[in-house]
């Protein structure tokens, strides 16, 4: 082996070369740059046009008796004229925010700050209701989840587990790829940010891909499988648990507000985890056997002794430390309380709060505040989404819009449940093709599902909950999510590869959701008997 070949081999097996900060930054396409340029003026034009130019008859012709309790109270307090103005302002702010979020003309968190103050200045929301969304209990659960996730990253226990599992069970190409399925599920229990999970696992599966001959210079089906399946498994792992992402938490809070009772961690996991696991297994089979079948040479390690590099990386971590044991004990206690929340009644936020405090305690704890990686820009973005939700509650815009839209399309009160279910779940799954933010999709489609259920007299859970469980299908195109963009930046697969695998899995996910509605969800009492 020449010195050049030896250097190249050492480079592809060096995990430090695959850290996020070392990956090349993807330049935006001409179309994306065009969207950024027109985003701000388009949002301003839309806002002014909706609020001051156009008149919307459906905002005038609504049945006061069908308003939600919160909206009815608001209507009684401010009167018809102001109520209509609030709805117009709500619609204008929502559409303008949507344009800014989709085009990324300005950062997402800045859009959220603008929409919060816009809701105040237009009189749609009182200041106290607009500003206190940053103190929403789900926001606190997000913050504490980042504290706990930072604890796992700081101690190295997440990386240790991933390396150990691959070395222990990665006997061949198929089992290596399947091993990451298990790793993603386990990490999803502990880490609520999909980007954080991707960042932890990226160096590991990039080295594994190189061992089996997959590099940016030599793209092969093993490399395509291991990256695209990790992306899919990352998102499906997040969909399995209530705390899997902030978008899940937002969806649960919106549904809970509509039905008047909490969505429990155990309730979400019982419904979502078996479905997500089934999809991951199907995804593994579809990827390795049908879309990107492994060639005989790709089933064998291409770099002799390559797995030794993973063993060396594991050895560098040294023996299991006392802090790692403490972090596992803390998280073990938290998970136990989360899974049993339906029986003891302590909310996931309160449990995470206690866990975060213990993790930060001097001497007893594991991390210091400066070690915590809290993405405040994401929290500010979420606060804007929750403020929009508060605006929807006082104006009842989703319900009024849904009623008007379905009346215009000729959907009568006798519309079968299955038609509504198929349409709503399809909209949620495939909306991910053109929307970047999971939180934004929750904000749009969960209120619509709630509105449709109320409009046609079906239980809110029967439509809103299955729609909520489809939030995480954001893996088909690079701009669909931050992990998708991160993995695409490795240059290990083409956009067409990601689309081919992603669109197939989206279609399968939609079909599985429909089948579940007729079977498993019915057994759980989510979808009512006799409606499918």
* Boundary residue ending a domain (334, 354, 374): 374
The pLDDT value recorded for residue 460 is 92
Would the pLDDT of 271 be above 70? yes
Q: What is the pLDDT of residues 191-209, one digit of tens each?
A: 777 877 888 788 888 888 8
Half-sphere exposure of 486 (CA within 13 A, CB side): 24
Would the pLDDT of 2 be above 60? no
What stretches of 432-494 show up as alpha helix (H) in DSSP? 438-456, 460-468, 482-488
Shared domain for 32 and 131, answered yes or no, is yes
The pLDDT value recorded for residue 385 is 76
* Boundary residue ending a domain (335, 358, 374): 374
Place of tokens 């940010």: 193
A 10 A CB-CB count for 187 gives 23
More confident residue, 154 or 110: 110
Shared domain for 119 and 150, answered yes or no, is no
- Compute CA 115 distance to the chain's CA centroid, rounded to the nearest angstrom: 22
Judged by average pLDDT, the poorest of 223-227, 354-358, 480-484, 519-523 is 480-484
CA–CA dist 458, 493 (Å, integer): 44
Does residue 123 fall inside a structural domain?
yes
> What are 310's two structure tokens?
């993973």
The pLDDT value recorded for residue 18 is 60
Would the pLDDT of 9 be above 60? no
Shared domain for 129 and 142, answered yes or no, is no
Does residue 426 fall inside a structural domain?
no
Across the range 455-478, mean pLDDT stands at 91
Does residue 339 fall inside a structural domain?
yes
Shared domain for 128 and 39, answered yes or no, is yes
> What are 426's two structure tokens?
């399809």
The pLDDT value recorded for residue 247 is 85
Q: Quick one: pLDDT band at residue 5, thresholds 50, 70, 90?
A: very low
Across the range 441-470, mean pLDDT stands at 89
Average pLDDT for the chain: 84
Would the pLDDT of 234 be above 90? yes
Shared domain for 60 and 131, answered yes or no, is yes
The pLDDT value recorded for residue 25 is 62
Judged by average pLDDT, the poorest of 53-62, 116-125, 520-529 is 53-62
Would the pLDDT of 20 be above 70? no
Q: Counting every residue, how long is the chain?
A: 532
CA distances from residue 61 to 91, 403, 424 in whole angstroms, order as listed:
16, 10, 25
Among 59, 44, 48, 147, which residue's Cα sits nearest to residue 99? 44
Domain count for the chain, please give it. Answer: 2
Judged by average pLDDT, the poorest of 267-271, 483-487, 495-499 is 483-487
CA–CA dist 158, 152 (Å, integer): 6
Asked if 253 and 382 touch (Cβ cutoff 8 Å), the reply is no
Would the pLDDT of 4 be above 60? no
The pLDDT value recorded for residue 88 is 93
Q: What is the pLDDT of residues 321-370, one digit of tens each?
A: 888 888 888 888 888 988 888 788 888 888 888 988 988 888 788 888 88
Does residue 517 fall inside a structural domain?
no
Across the range 1-20, mean pLDDT stands at 53
Across the range 65-86, mean pLDDT stands at 87
Q: Secondary structure of 161-224 in the HEC alphabet?
A: HHHHHHHHHCCCHHHHHHHHHHHHHHHHHHCCCHHHHHHHHHHHHHHHHHHCCCCCCCCCHHHH
Gyration radius from the chain CA atoms: 24
Instruction: For the full predicted model, state whether its pTM sits above 0.85.
Output: no
Would the pLDDT of 172 be above 90? no
Shared domain for 89 and 143, answered yes or no, is no
The pLDDT value recorded for residue 276 is 96
Shared domain for 145 and 121, answered yes or no, is no
> What are 456's two structure tokens?
């046609």
Does residue 270 fall inside a structural domain?
no
CA distances from residue 474 to 224, 228, 450 in whole angstroms, order as listed:
17, 12, 22
Shared domain for 45 and 101, answered yes or no, is yes
Shared domain for 125 and 88, answered yes or no, is yes
The pLDDT value recorded for residue 10 is 47
More confident residue, 510 or 481: 510
Shared domain for 144 and 90, answered yes or no, is no
CA distances from residue 114 to 10, 35, 61, 121 in whole angstroms, order as listed:
49, 19, 30, 10
Does residue 125 fall inside a structural domain?
yes
CA–CA dist 441, 299 (Å, integer): 39
Shared domain for 332 and 352, answered yes or no, is yes
The pLDDT value recorded for residue 8 is 47
CA–CA dist 337, 140 (Å, integer): 17
Q: What is the pLDDT of residues 28-75, one digit of tens each?
A: 678 778 888 999 999 999 999 999 999 888 888 888 877 877 888 888
Does residue 429 fall inside a structural domain?
no
Structural domain containing residue 105: 28-135
- Compute CA 327 distance to the chain's CA centroid, rounded to the nearest angstrom: 25
Asked if 349 and 137 touch (Cβ cutoff 8 Å), the reply is yes
Does residue 521 fall inside a structural domain?
no
* Boundary residue ending a domain (311, 345, 374): 374
Q: Quick one: pLDDT band at residue 85, thresholds 50, 70, 90?
A: very high
The pLDDT value recorded for residue 445 is 87
Would the pLDDT of 7 be above 50? no
Judged by average pLDDT, the poorest of 8-22, 106-120, 451-465 is 8-22
Shared domain for 145 and 74, answered yes or no, is no
The pLDDT value recorded for residue 17 is 61
Asked if 115 and 97 touch (Cβ cutoff 8 Å), the reply is yes
């Amino acid at each position: 082996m020449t010195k050049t070949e030896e250097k190249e081999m050492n480079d592809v097996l060096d995990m430090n070369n695959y850290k996020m900060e070392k990956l090349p930054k993807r330049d935006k396409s001409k179309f994306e740059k065009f969207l950024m340029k027109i985003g701000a003026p388009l949002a301003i034009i839309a806002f002014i046009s909706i609020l001051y130019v156009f008149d919307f008859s459906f905002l005038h012709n609504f049945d006061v008796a069908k308003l939600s309790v919160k909206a009815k109270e608001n209507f009684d307090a401010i009167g018809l004229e102001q109520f209509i103005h609030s709805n117009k302002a709500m619609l204008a702010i929502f559409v303008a925010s949507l344009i800014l979020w989709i085009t990324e003309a300005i950062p997402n968190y800045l859009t959220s700050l603008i929409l919060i103050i816009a809701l105040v200045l237009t009189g749609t929301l009182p200041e106290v209701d607009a500003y206190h969304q940053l103190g929403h209990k789900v926001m606190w659960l997000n913050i504490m989840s980042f504290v706990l996730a930072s604890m796992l990253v700081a101690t190295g226990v997440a990386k240790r587990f991933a390396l150990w599992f691959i070395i222990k069970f990665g006997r061949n190409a198929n089992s290596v790829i399947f091993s990451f399925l298990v790793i993603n599920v386990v990490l999803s229990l502990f880490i609520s940010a999909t980007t954080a999970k991707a960042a932890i696992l990226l160096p590991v599966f990039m080295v594994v891909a190189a061992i089996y001959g997959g590099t940016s210079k030599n793209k092969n089906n093993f490399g395509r499988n291991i990256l695209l399946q990790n992306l899919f498994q990352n998102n499906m792992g997040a969909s399995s648990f209530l705390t899997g992402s902030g978008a899940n938490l937002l969806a649960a809070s919106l549904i809970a507000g509509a039905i008047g009772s909490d969505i429990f961690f155990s309730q979400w996991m019982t419904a979502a985890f078996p479905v997500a696991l089934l999809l991951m297994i199907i995804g593994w089979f579809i990827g390795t056997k049908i879309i990107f079948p492994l060639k005989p040479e790709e089933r064998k390690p291409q770099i002799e002794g390559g797995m030794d590099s993973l063993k060396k990386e594991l050895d560098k971590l040294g023996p299991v430390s006392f802090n790692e044991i403490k972090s596992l004990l803390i998280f073990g206690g938290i998970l136990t309380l989360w899974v049993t929340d339906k029986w003891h009644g302590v909310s996931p936020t309160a449990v995470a709060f206690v866990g975060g405090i213990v993790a930060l305690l001097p001497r007893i704890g594991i991390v210091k505040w400066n070690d915590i990686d809290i993405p405040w820009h994401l929290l500010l973005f979420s606060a804007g989404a929750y403020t929009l939700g508060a605006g929807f509650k006082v104006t009842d815009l989703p319900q009024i819009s849904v009623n008007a839209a379905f009346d215009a399309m000729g959907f009568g009160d006798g519309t079968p449940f299955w038609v509504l279910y198929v349409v709503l779940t399809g909209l949620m799954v495939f909306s991910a093709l053109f929307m970047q933010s999971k939180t934004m999709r929750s904000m749009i489609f969960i209120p619509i599902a709630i509105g449709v259920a109320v409009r046609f007299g079906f239980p809110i859970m029967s439509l809103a909950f299955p729609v909520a469980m489809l939030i995480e299908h954001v893996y088909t195109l690079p701009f669909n999510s931050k992990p998708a963009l991160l993995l695409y930046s490795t240059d290990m697969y083409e956009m067409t590869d990601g689309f081919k695998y992603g669109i197939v899995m989206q279609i399968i996910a939609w079909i599985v959701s429909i089948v579940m509605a007729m079977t498993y969800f019915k057994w759980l009492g989510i979808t009512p008997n006799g409606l499918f």
